[in-house]
Amino acid sequence: MTAQEGQSLRAILEGEQLRVYFQPIVDVGRQTIHGYEALIRGPEGSPLRSPVALFDLATRAGSLVELDLLCRRLAIQRFAALGLPGRLFLNVMPATIVERDFREGLTLRFLHEADLAPSRVVIELTEHMPIHDYALMRQAVAHYREMGFQVALDDLGAGHSSLRHWSELRPDFVKLDRHFVAGIDQAPAKREFLRSILDVARSLDCQLIAEGIETEQEHRCLWELDRGLSLLQGYFFARPSAMPPLSVDHLLPAPAPLCSEPVRCACAITRPVEAVAPTLPVPALVERFRGEPRLRCVPVVERDGRPLGVVRRNDFLTLFTNPFSHALYARRQVCELLDTQVLVTAQETPLAKLSQELTDRHDLQQEDFVIVDDLGVYLGMGTIVDLLREITAIQVRQARHANPLTGLPGNILINETLARRLASGAPFAAVYCDLDNFKAFNDAYGYARGDRVIVAVAHLLQTQVGEEDFVGHVGGDDFVLLLDQACWRDTCRRILDAFAVLAPDFYDALDRQAGGIRVENRQGVATFYPIVSLSLGARPVAKGEGGNALGIAAELSELKAQAKKRAGNSLFVDRRGLTR
């Protein structure tokens, strides 16, 4: 360390020349901010602006603890001053919490001065320094928990013995290193690894936080795993900022709707396998198979990138089981032994369609298939195992977000699909459906018969809409339809006419003859309620209108209220939507 570096560091410490940035940690399940990680930057324009350079110099100068405590105090003060919601994730060097702070309770004092509860703070142990005394570290972690703090382990998989850290310290949160997230939408192996890590996290009652999400594709892939991973952090949501966002409503895109045709395509299960030329000598491929024991299948590709077929490991190596095989095949080329009976599919093929293609191909004897781009150029290989795993994940997600009574898509999938329709720019009509006098029916006949009515309405809606239309179940007796612009009025009229015929059958004969039932209202007064009817509030969306799902949902609620003011089965249309 030079004298100039020492002076610069001393000036930063004594003058508190540090800036605190915050990056949100997003709870994508609740679409809220779970908390913020505090990040430190040195003076602008200085070689020590980078925290890596700053902490490296402090370590060499013997001032690491002093710097770490200063960063912590400034972060707490700034977090409180900004009034940020959620938890504060504080980066802490392991050496610090077993030294001064452990003895003197400095962090607790900083929080008291800022009027911030310890329960809102997560001590995030960085992985940049090794832990030498696990017994002392466990004692320190227990001490912090007793005071109300939670503990996180940073950069799982990137630092010093991080799996042992997890086992020894049993943190409340574990932050997964960016390496395991980067390009996960194109890496089945990473997705499988993450599923395993999630299983471990659940068994240890620990929440996993995925760091470094930078693309919409990575976000969607993590969302669709849907195995308990709801906490995400990265540039895709927000970069570190001195004035971070207070909400994430506008930051979270709607994940791809899985309630109709799955958006997940063959590109999501592509595995890179190096192809060979048809002129490759057979002995060269023998050596490759022997050198790569896990390689099952090799694609054979022409010079222009178009696949000719594959060579399958078991069939190929069987040819070399007798002593004369090497002499027989020594001068032959791979093109003479390839298997052309292999499925070749485009990267944009939906997984459901790909599954059907494989099912229909009775000539396929192996589980591997070839994936190409839009021009037919080889991209990689896929396996039936990966395909089944992805389809299962999609089905699990659909089931988890479906209404348990009707099986129709629930609120999350409704919002996703509505957002996707708005983003596409195509015209459509959003329709809110609600039953009138349904509470009285439930009170008179009980919830079991009420559920039968709701199931019947769900079935009616599904049978009356078109193939490209969408039916979602908000809950209770409320439904949402997204209908084709060209014929949405006719669809609504068919629904109302069909329900008018169906509704009387829900009632007993005497009540049906009376045209309704008499039950006590909330004030205890016997009141007559007509046979249930259906109110529809329609909001036409013009081509390219845009908007957001939350706004449309709010408008639909108002339209439904207007429709319910009319007696009997009714349709209320937002006239403004017809002129947009």
Q: What is the CATH number of the domain that holds 115?
A: 3.20.20.450
Q: Computed from CA positions of residues 550, 555, 561, 564, in that sequence, does the dihedral angle turn out positive or negative?
A: negative
**431 backbone dihedrals φ, ψ, rounded to 5°:** -130, 130
Is the pLDDT reported for residue 224 higher than 80?
A: no
Among candidate residues 232, 250, 282, the one where a domain is terminated: 232
Q: Which two tokens stand for residue 76?
A: 């707490």
- In this structure, the answer to whether residues 387 and 432 fall within a common structural domain is no
Give a yes or no: residue 139 inside a domain: yes
Instruction: Calculate the dihedral angle through the C-alpha atoms of 461, 466, 467, 472, rounding to the nearest 10 degrees.
Output: -30
360 and 411 within one domain: no
Q: Is residue 282 part of a domain?
A: yes
Region 420-425: mean pLDDT is 86
Task: Quote the tokens at residue 298.
Answer: 């090799």
Q: Do residues 216 and 276 share a domain?
A: no
Do residue 386 and residue 422 come from a single domain? Answer: no
Query: Quick one: how far is CA 434 from the chain centroid?
Result: 31
The answer to whether residue 248 is domain-embedded is no
**What does the buried/exposed string (b/e) look like for 194-203 if buried means 16 or more CB atoms within 10 Å of the residue's CB?**
beebbeebee
CATH number of the domain residue 287 falls in? 3.10.580.10
- Residues 158 and 297 grouped into a single domain: no
Are residue 319 and residue 464 in the same domain, yes or no?
A: no
Q: Is there a domain that residue 247 lies in?
A: no
Amino acid identity of residue 189, one-letter, is A
C-alpha closest to that of 123 among 103, 144, 109: 144
Residues 284 and 219 both lie in one domain: no
CA pair distance 555, 480, nearest whole angstrom: 12
Note whether 329 and 411 are same-domain residues. Answer: no
Q: Which two tokens stand for residue 527?
A: 């009141």
HSE value, Cβ hemisphere, 13 Å, CA-based, for 381: 23
Asked whether 180 and 192 are in contact (CB, 8 A), the reply is no
When pLDDT is cut at 50, 70 and 90, the band that residue 580 belongs to is: very low
How much is the pLDDT for 420? 86
Nearest CA to 259 out of 458, 433, 400 is that of: 400
Domain end point (choices 366, 391, 416): 391
Q: What's the order of all strands across the beta sheet hosting 344-346? A: 344-346, 368-372, 378-383
Please check the confidence at residue 374 and state whether its pLDDT lies above 80: yes
Question: For residue 357, is it within any domain?
Answer: yes
* Ramachandran category for residue 146: left, alpha or beta (phi over 0 → left; psi -120 to 50 → alpha): alpha
Instruction: Give the number of residues written for the chain.
Output: 580
* Residues 416 and 293 placed together within one structural domain of the fold: no
Q: What's the pTM? A: 0.49
The pLDDT of 173-186, averaged and rounded, is 86
Structural domain including 380 reads 266-391
The answer to whether the CB of 68 falls within 8 A of the CB of 51 is no
Long-range contacts of 356-359 (CB under 8 A, 24+ apart): 358/384, 358/387
Tens digit of each residue's pLDDT (9 = 90 or more) over 502-527: 999 899 989 999 999 998 877 778 89
3-state secondary structure of 294: coil
The domain that contains 457 carries what CATH number?
Answer: 3.30.70.270
In angstroms, the CA 502 to CA 534 distance is: 11
pLDDT > 90: percent of the chain: 34
Which amino acid is located at 482 in the chain?
L
Residues 385 and 411 in one domain: no
